[in-house]
Amino acid sequence: MATVVIDEKENKNIWAGAAEPFKASYGKLMMWFFLLSDTLSFSGLLITYGFARFDHEAYRGAVEAFKASTQYWPIPEKVFTHIPFFHINAPLVFVGLMTFILILSSVTMVLAVEAGHRNDRQDVQKWMLWTILGGIAFLSCQAWEWSVFITGTPEGLTVNDPDGTVRLIHGANLIQNEYGPRLFADLFFFITGFHGTHVFSGVIINIFVFYSATVGKFDKIGSYEMIEKVGLYWHFVDLVWVFVFTFFYLV
């Protein structure tokens, strides 16, 4: 809601209550604190990934000669090589596109917030719509990435079971992984899935806020601060993706 202007001379102790010591409204502050707690969650997951990664053997050899094995951690640019519609080897191209889409949707979100500051409903609608579309595009890309990862390559991986049976496995799920150690697939699904859930909920919330803006709710209450709060969440989701992208696909 509208912020209250504090006269410091009148209210000497701004921590005594009925004031805004951070000059931010309750809703905005609570969103920041929620994001802080969510940072801890994602940090836990990414640290787990780092821990798992570095207590497995690393592949030591030429990148070109890389072959998948459960004995060492895979090289991500040898695993994530597919792009839609084209059957060529395009390492990390698709995930780069996903990053670009999400960063762009973050930019359109900032523009929506900026339009909200000017009480410009038309611009808010326009930029929120682009942000929603960007989020849906990202989710679609992630879904495709998952399906390719689960389906696997035609070559597959020959696995020797402890009881002697030899199997040819394709793709990855929570039990078997064609690309490398099982933990690699487990963590891939969990981390990108958890992030994808955040993107999905963000898209839903953005749709609600877009609807509210369209029917004139923010004009009526006189403030577009909801756009800002929802914008903070969306930027956080983008930031997490930057980290996931760096630590999962690049390192």
Q: Min. distance of Cβ 98 from other proteins in angstroms?
A: 11
Q: Can you spell out the DSSP letters for 135-204?
A: HHHHHHHHHHHHHHHHH--SS-EEEE-TTS-EEEE-SB-SS-BSSS-HHHHHHHHHHHHHHHHHHHHHHH
Tell me the HSE value of 246 on the side-chain side, using a 13 A CA sphere: 7
Among 3, 4, 57, 140, binds other proteins (CB under 8 A): 57
Q: How far apart are CA 73 and CA 220, in angstroms?
A: 56
Residue 8 binding other proteins, by CB under 8 A: no
Task: Indicate whether 225 belongs to the interface with other proteins (CB under 8 A).
Answer: no
Residue 27 near other proteins by CB under 8 A: no
By the 10 Å C-beta count (0-12 exposed, 13-18 middle, 19+ buried), 159 is classed as middle
By C-alpha distance, which of 70, 65, 98 is closest to 82?
98
Residue 19 lies near other proteins (rule: CB under 8 A): no
CB of 77 to other proteins, least distance (A): 7
Q: Which amino acid is residue 35, in one-letter code?
A: L
Nearer to other proteins, 77 or 186 (CB): 77
Tell me which of 4, 51, 89, 143 binds other proteins, using CB under 8 A.
Answer: 51
Among positions 77-136, residues that touch other proteins (CB under 8 A) are 77, 91-92, 96, 99-100, 103, 106-107, 109-111, 114, 118-123
Report if residue 186 touches other proteins, rule: CB under 8 A. Answer: no
* Closest to 248 (Cα-Cα) out of 136, 137, 96, 143: 96
Q: How far is the CB of 194 from other proteins (least distance, A)?
A: 17
Distances in Å between the Cα of 65 and the Cα atoms of 75, 155, 191 are 11, 15, 28
Binding site for other proteins (CB under 8 A): 21-24, 29, 32, 35-36, 39-40, 43, 47, 50-58, 75, 77, 91-92, 96, 99-100, 103, 106-107, 109-111, 114, 118-123, 216, 219-222, 228, 231-232, 235-236, 238-239, 242-243, 246-247, 250-251
